[in-house]
Chain A
């Protein structure tokens, strides 16, 4: 489903690679934690999956597509199959919860009738029923992240990428978000999540890929956050 083959990424005007010679495979339906110290290349890895960046060398395959050879106009079709969630939520402040989720469907040309049907469904999945009319500044951080997850999931993507989704949340709220991501994973979506939260990783006991200075230093199924910490 996702295959990295000797992938190296050096950003322009940088000497040290952000990711070096990384090879790994992620299967359909997996839940993967990406851990490692700050600057180890976690976000770079996720950006390569999204084809926001192109590898300097090596090959990235996502959903059967060779991203090195994917032409620019096919990128949107790829991204429609990948949901994304970030630490900073990235909601539109002047739109309501409903409108924020609907936006993701409007801009890919989905008809209104479809939007009216699926948005309430996904808001129920993330536990936001009754809050459709609120704006982001009328929601808690955890609720805002649920809106972002609803937006990422509303199109039923095959892969969900979450870059430190609990980074701005307190531990109690984080547990709720993790339960939600776990539920989405059980609905059949592959989830790749970068995190610094040792407690969550240790509790979930899922596959852990650890990066350090751009190298894959550990790849463990049912792993924990780290040995040394």
Chain B
């Protein structure tokens, strides 16, 4: 096998079919980028789940002066009511792991810190935020136990499970990710078809050469290798571009645009990119191999 001969055949083939080669490179790049981004979104959802599920609490908001819920008709929560609630929470251990009381002042300070860069800080008065008990559960799915014990009790305005809000949000992200993944898979199928067609055209435009090669006794490998390498090279370039797209998504979209604006949550790290990148290369080259296998079997027989 003369490497130089094969290399020059591959180079000639790619140049001769330049428009088709470009089309393959671009579709591979776009579909794999989409595939990579959809995997990145999934990693992002997982990261946020890890980050938030650790922090989520059940909040029991206590009645303030102007609360208009029916359980608040007695006006602001009394000291006796507050002590009773705390005692009842203590009795729910070990389901309840942590109990933390947050006064109105503390709530306001925390709010100010959380939205330090945001204009809504100025629109919220010092007493606008209610006092509350913040509870951590050993098993966050057992939220109903707390809810049924405390909602509607005099002195309690509302029982609130952050996890439910988060889950809704994560389901939305998961849905978006699934849609992106489906589109990516459809595009990958289109990519395979395009590669098949490109190889068919390449095999046709070189049928003189290949028929002579067959007659003089060139081995199958020698006849097919240039086609295989052409497909692998263009798919490989496309996959590398997709890895580039993934890196840009991480550095620009995530690190420079999203992360500064949403400082309260965690974002995927480079390890996710590092895990996805080889997968993209593998899928890209694997696709071209599958396409090549079937095309060559059909069009370049001995």
Contact A79 B209 (CB under 8 A): no
Contact B212 A103 (CB under 8 A): yes
In this complex, what residue of B is CB-closest to A84? B215
Segment touching A, from B51-59, B60-68, B218-226, B264-272: B218-226
Indicate whether A106 reaches chain B with its CB closer than 8 angstroms: yes
B216: chain A residues at CB < 8 Å are 79-80, 84, 103-104, 107-108, 151, 155
Indicate whether A76 reaches chain B with its CB closer than 8 angstroms: yes
Shortest beta-carbon distance from A217 to chain B in Å:
29
B223: chain A residues at CB < 8 Å are 107
Complex: A84 Cα to B221 Cα, angstroms: 21
Indicate with 1 or 0, residue by residue over A71-82, a CB within 8 angstroms of chain B CB atoms.
011011111111
Residue positions of B touching A, CB distance < 8 A: 1-2, 5, 208-209, 211-220, 222-223, 302
Contact A107 B213 (CB under 8 A): yes
Name the contact of A73 in the complex, choosing from B5, B213, B215, B220 (C-beta under 8 A). B220
- Known A104-B216, A108-B217, A109-B2; judge A75-B209 contact (CB<8 A): no
* Interface contacts beyond A72-B220, A82-B217, A103-B209: sample of 15 additional A-B pairs, CB < 8 Å, sorted by A: A72-B302, A73-B220, A75-B302, A76-B219, A76-B220, A80-B217, A84-B216, A90-B211, A90-B212, A92-B208, A92-B209, A103-B216, A107-B213, A107-B223, A108-B222
Interface size for A (C-beta < 8 A) is 24
In this complex, what residue of A is CB-closest to B4? A112
Contact A106 B302 (CB under 8 A): no
Contact A79 B212 (CB under 8 A): no
- Known A73-B220, A106-B2, A109-B2; judge A92-B214 contact (CB<8 A): no
Which A133-158 residues have C-beta < 8 A from chain B? 151, 155
A84: chain B residues at CB < 8 Å are 215-216
In this complex, what residue of B is CB-closest to A106? B5
Q: Which of A78, A108, A111 has the most CB of B within 10 A?
A: A108
Complex: A151 Cα to B217 Cα, angstroms: 12
Residue positions of A touching B, CB distance < 8 A: 50, 72-73, 75-82, 84, 90, 92, 103-104, 106-109, 111-112, 151, 155
Contact A78 B217 (CB under 8 A): yes
Complex: A111 Cα to B208 Cα, angstroms: 23
Complex: A81 Cα to B211 Cα, angstroms: 17
Contact A79 B219 (CB under 8 A): no
- Known A106-B5, A109-B2; judge A77-B208 contact (CB<8 A): no
A103: chain B residues at CB < 8 Å are 209, 212, 216
Complex: A106 Cα to B223 Cα, angstroms: 11
Name the contact of A109 in the complex, choosing from B209, B211, B214, B222 (C-beta under 8 A). B222
Shortest beta-carbon distance from B215 to chain A in Å:
5
B220: chain A residues at CB < 8 Å are 72-73, 76
Shortest beta-carbon distance from A54 to chain B in Å:
11
In this complex, what residue of A is CB-closest to B212? A90
Contact A107 B215 (CB under 8 A): no
A50: chain B residues at CB < 8 Å are 215
A75: chain B residues at CB < 8 Å are 217, 302
Shortest beta-carbon distance from A71 to chain B in Å:
11
Shortest beta-carbon distance from B213 to chain A in Å:
5
In this complex, what residue of A is CB-closest to B216? A104
Complex: A83 Cα to B212 Cα, angstroms: 11
Query: Can you list 23 A-B contacts with CB-CB less than 8 angstroms, sorted by A residue number?
Result: A72-B220, A75-B302, A76-B218, A79-B215, A79-B216, A80-B216, A84-B215, A84-B216, A90-B208, A90-B211, A90-B215, A92-B208, A92-B209, A92-B212, A103-B212, A104-B212, A104-B216, A107-B212, A108-B216, A108-B218, A108-B219, A111-B2, A155-B216
